[in-house]
Amino acid sequence: MVKILILGAGVMGTALSVPLTDNGHIVNLVGTHLDGDIIAKLQAGFPHPRLGIQVAESVTAYSYDQLSQAIQGVDLVVIGVNSHGIKWAALALSSVLSADIPILMVTKGLAGDGEKLSILPDVICANLPNTISDRIQIAAIGGPSIAQELAVRRHTCVMFTSTNQALLSHLAELARTPYYHIWTSTDTIGTEVCVALKNVYALAVGLVIGFLEKAGKAVNDAEMHNLAAAIFAQGMWETAYLVNKMGGKPESVYTLPGSGDLYVTCQGGRNSRMGRLLGLGIPYSQAKAEYMPNDTVEGASLALAIGQTVENMLHKGDLDDIALPLLRTMIDIVCHDAPAIIPWDRFFATGAAKTPLQTYRLMIK
């Protein structure tokens, strides 16, 4: 039994408490400054308002201003804030975290500084004091994991990733249950790039919902699965290019972090809802302001977070323009209110240096 602090009381952070407490661990669940209503409900004994489950008796809910109290004696910190809050989380932990306590990240995303793209474990390290960042061990979770399913113990398969295999083995042992199946990978870059990009490509697949609605019912009730599948495939193609470009391994693309996570994210949720609006022809700024003002749409958030950096890297030749037509399109749609027009003739281009097909061949040799 160990004591674990989860920072972020949203659906994924709270859902992760289920396998952890089933394994006999103690969990201190600390809300962010945006989780006040959730924490109040949990402290009053009510179910989690968004998950609809009662947390275990071994879960204690804390407000964010109680972080210094909640972190006392913990053996592991889990970061479950949304991607907007990653620097906030690092700042909040800076004065209370010991370098001897490892971090396990649930948060997914990429960051751009105008010149290069970074994975979020590196962002956390960059925003912690040097006395901590030089020694801290960080792992992350990737793969197809819908919080509502995990919260009711549906079978879930994920990848734990870190450059430290001993840490991975330890964390997997802490969290693995008969329904929470864990594999490990030392390809942190590949895993993190995949689980971030899946959001923007799921948003692209979601466009089809709006296209179908806009086109109207077919005489034979045909839908647009062909179209959605092609967009999905191009998303995988581009993910393979970017994973290779950033130094990751191709196996991450074609397993749980890549194809698995993209598939599950396309099944519904906020990316799909926003994709429908965009596919109907509503500009992103209007769709966000009028229809989803209080929702974090992770695909759009990623486009906004890395859009300018990707455009700069393409202009400088640091990224190959041929390789990323769908990502460029989604950045134009979200960042510049461009219309949702799919660049079909640019899909599956083979002119980019080390194409995804070449990468795949290297993997299976």
What is the pLDDT averaged over residues 52-61? 98
In this structure, what DSSP letter does residue 56 have?
A: P
Q: Which two tokens stand for residue 358?
A: 């070449």
Q: Helix 225-246 and helix 188-215: axis angle, to 10°?
A: 160
Between CA 343 and CA 325 the distance in angstroms is: 7
What is the phi/psi pair of residue 233, to 5°?
-65, -40
Query: SS3 of 6, please?
Result: strand
Question: According to the model, what pLDDT value does residue 88 have?
Answer: 95
Q: Is 10 annotated as a binding residue?
A: yes
Confidence of residue 180 (pLDDT cuts 50, 70, 90): very high
Predicted structure pTM score = 0.93
| Percentage, residues of the chain above pLDDT 90 | 94
pLDDT by residue (tens digit) across 185-206?
A: 999 999 999 999 999 999 999 9
Length of the chain: 365
Question: According to the model, what pLDDT value does residue 359 have?
Answer: 52
Q: Catalytic annotation on 354? A: no
Each domain of the chain, given as residue ranges in start order, spans 3-186, 190-364
pLDDT by residue (tens digit) across 60-95?
A: 999 999 999 999 999 999 999 999 899 999 999 999
Query: SS3 of 60, please?
Result: strand
pLDDT by residue (tens digit) across 98-151?
A: 999 999 999 999 999 999 999 999 999 999 999 999 999 999 999 999 999 999
Q: Given a cut of 50, is residue 364 above it in pLDDT?
A: no
What is the pLDDT averaged over residues 274-301? 97
Q: Is 11 annotated as a binding residue?
A: yes
Confidence of residue 351 (pLDDT cuts 50, 70, 90): low
3-state helix, strand, coil in the chain (%, to 5): 55, 10, 35
Q: Given a cut of 80, is residue 184 above it in pLDDT?
A: yes
Q: Which residues contact 307 (CB under 8 A, 6 or more apart)?
A: 112, 331, 334, 335
Which is higher by pLDDT, 353 or 232?
232
Looking at residue 331, its amino acid is: I
Q: How far is CA 124 from CA 67, 105, 260, 336, in A?
A: 17, 10, 25, 29
Q: How far is CA 209 from CA 102, 202, 278, 280, 319, in A?
A: 42, 12, 9, 8, 30
Q: Is 9 annotated as a binding residue?
A: yes
pLDDT by residue (tens digit) across 8-38?
A: 999 999 999 999 999 999 999 999 999 999 9
pLDDT by residue (tens digit) across 204-216?
A: 999 999 999 999 9
Q: Given a cut of 90, is residue 257 above it in pLDDT?
A: yes
**Helices within the chain (DSSP H only):** 11-22, 36-43, 67-70, 86-94, 120-126, 130-133, 147-151, 165-175, 188-215, 225-246, 261-265, 270-279, 284-291, 298-316, 325-336, 356-364
Question: According to the model, what pLDDT value does residue 349 have?
Answer: 87
Question: According to the model, what pLDDT value does residue 363 have?
Answer: 46
What is the pLDDT averaged over residues 224-251? 97
- Mean pLDDT computed over every residue of the chain: 95
Q: Which CATH superfamily is domain 190-364 in?
A: N-(1-d-carboxylethyl)-l-norvaline Dehydrogenase; domain 2 (1.10.1040.10)
For 3-186, CATH gives: 3.40.50.720
Annotated catalytic residue, options 198, 217, 249, 354: 198
